[in-house]
Amino acid sequence: MLSKRRAVLSSMKNGQSGVILEIGGGKGMRARLEALGVRMGSKIKKKSGFFTGGPVIVSIGNTDVAIGFGMASRILVEVDPS
């Protein structure tokens, strides 16, 4: 049986996908992410981003969203096995 691994969004490799397990941070940050469609339980795919910082571009459904590196570091994802 394959076990899925957990990782923060900012540390995932480009092209990896998974399901959002947890969103850390304050109420304001969670509300901002929710307005962009980033919610717990959503399927998410990392399209691009750099390990050293800068925006992280993700795909949620049919929408591409740019998230700041700090925000992406607070989103825990259960990564799909490759």
Specify the CATH number for the domain of residue 11: 2.30.30.90
Q: What is the pLDDT of residue 3?
A: 63
* Closest listed residue to residue 65, CA positions, set 41, 45, 80: 45
d(CA 34, CA 23): 10
| Chain segment 20-34, per-residue pLDDT in tens | 999 998 999 999 999
Above 70 in pLDDT, residue 1?
Answer: no
Alpha helices in 1-82 (DSSP H): 27-35, 69-72
How many separate domains does the chain show?
1
Q: CB–CB of 36/2 below 8 Å? A: no
* pLDDT class of 47 with cuts at 50, 70, 90: very high
Cα 81 from chain centre: 16
- Domain with 51 in it: 5-79
Predicted structure pTM score: 0.88
Mind listing the pLDDT tens digit for each residue in 53-81? 789 999 998 999 999 999 999 999 999 98
